[in-house]
């Protein structure tokens, strides 16, 4: 127990300065620990993710590679938790389509005209991550939205859009490459490149 003798002012003042200095050092150490914990939490859970992806576009083309020109998407996701991200993406898929011209009895392929339909959609998505380590990620996801088709033959029409991602993966910490297997307006197989910050 520290006893302060007020009869000796110089000695008591030294003791007081020593106690105050000790309290300041302990407080500074605790503050540094608190800042470090907050920084780690920010990196682990407040994560931004932007990505560009290219898919096969097979679903909208009727599973015909000849009529598909691929599917192109730009996406953004925000990591609300380590295992859950919310975001959305814009998707563009051009598809070759045909307009058949009938005669009185039947039609031939020679009687058809070819045109390109442009499918443009806006989707919101949820992504569920079940492996999240610095240089690798495994996830699944679901998205829903709506789109507009632009073409000369069919003019403009609305359509529902969406994508079910059965499994997705990425390699890299900030800059990354990856792929997805799913079903929807983006197609079945997708590759992507992105950046996290």
- CA dist list (Å): 120 to 66, 93, 114: 20, 7, 20
Beta strands 47-55 and 112-133, pairing class: unpaired
Find the domain containing 131 and state its range. Answer: 46-196
In a domain, residue 81? The reply is yes
Q: Are residues 86 and 71 in the same domain?
A: yes
Q: Are residues 91 and 178 in the same domain?
A: yes
Q: Are residues 28 and 59 in the same domain?
A: no
Q: Are residues 97 and 41 in the same domain?
A: no
CA Rg, the chain, in Å?
Answer: 30
| pLDDT at position 46 | 55
Q: Are residues 24 and 77 in the same domain?
A: no
Number of separate domains in the chain: 2
| pLDDT at position 113 | 75
DSSP 8-state secondary structure symbol assigned to residue 174: S
| Six token digits for residue 57 | 């576009």
Q: Are residues 30 and 72 in the same domain?
A: no
In a domain, residue 1? The reply is no
| Cβ neighbours for 78, distance < 8 A, ≥ 6 positions apart | 47, 48, 49, 85, 86, 87
Q: Are residues 72 and 15 in the same domain?
A: no
Q: Are residues 58 and 96 in the same domain?
A: yes
Q: Are residues 15 and 91 in the same domain?
A: no
Instruction: In whole angstroms, give the CA distance from residue 79 to residue 106.
Output: 56
Q: Do the beta carbons of residue 155 and residue 123 sit within 8 Å?
A: no
Q: Are residues 50 and 32 in the same domain?
A: no
Q: Are residues 108 and 97 in the same domain?
A: yes
| Cβ neighbours for 114, distance < 8 A, ≥ 6 positions apart | 96, 97, 98
State which H helix or E strand residue 104 sits in.
Answer: none
- What CATH number is attached to the domain comprising 73? 2.40.160.20
DSSP 8-state secondary structure symbol assigned to residue 68: B
In a domain, residue 183? The reply is yes
Q: Are residues 24 and 98 in the same domain?
A: no
In a domain, residue 2? The reply is no
Instruction: In whole angstroms, give the CA distance from residue 144 to residue 158.
Output: 14
Q: Give the pLDDT means over successive 10-residue stretches in the chain (197 positions).
A: 50 58 54 40 66 94 88 96 94 88 57 83 96 91 95 81 96 94 96 95
In a domain, residue 75? The reply is yes
In a domain, residue 3? The reply is no
């Amino acid at each position: 127990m520290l006893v302060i003798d007020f009869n000796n002012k110089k000695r008591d003042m030294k003791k007081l300065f020593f106690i105050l200095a000790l309290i300041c050092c302990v407080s500074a150490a605790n503050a540094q620990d608190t800042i470090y914990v907050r920084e780690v939490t920010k990196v682990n859970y407040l994560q931004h993710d932007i990505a560009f992806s290219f898919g096969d576009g097979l679903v909208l083309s009727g599973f015909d590679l000849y009529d598909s020109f691929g599917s192109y998407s730009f996406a953004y996701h925000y990591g609300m938790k380590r295992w859950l991200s919310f975001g959305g993406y814009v998707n563009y898929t051009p598809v070759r389509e045909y307009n058949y011209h009938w005669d009185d009895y039947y039609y031939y392929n020679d009687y058809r005209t070819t045109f390109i339909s442009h499918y443009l959609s806006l989707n919101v998505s949820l992504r569920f991550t079940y492996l999240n380590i610095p240089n690798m990620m495994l996830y699944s996801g679901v998205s829903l939205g709506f789109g507009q088709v632009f073409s000369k033959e069919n003019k403009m029409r609305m359509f529902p859009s969406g994508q079910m991602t059965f499994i997705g993966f990425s390699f890299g910490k900030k800059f990354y490459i990856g792929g997805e297997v799913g079903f929807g307006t983006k197609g079945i197989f997708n590759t992507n490149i992105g950046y996290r910050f």
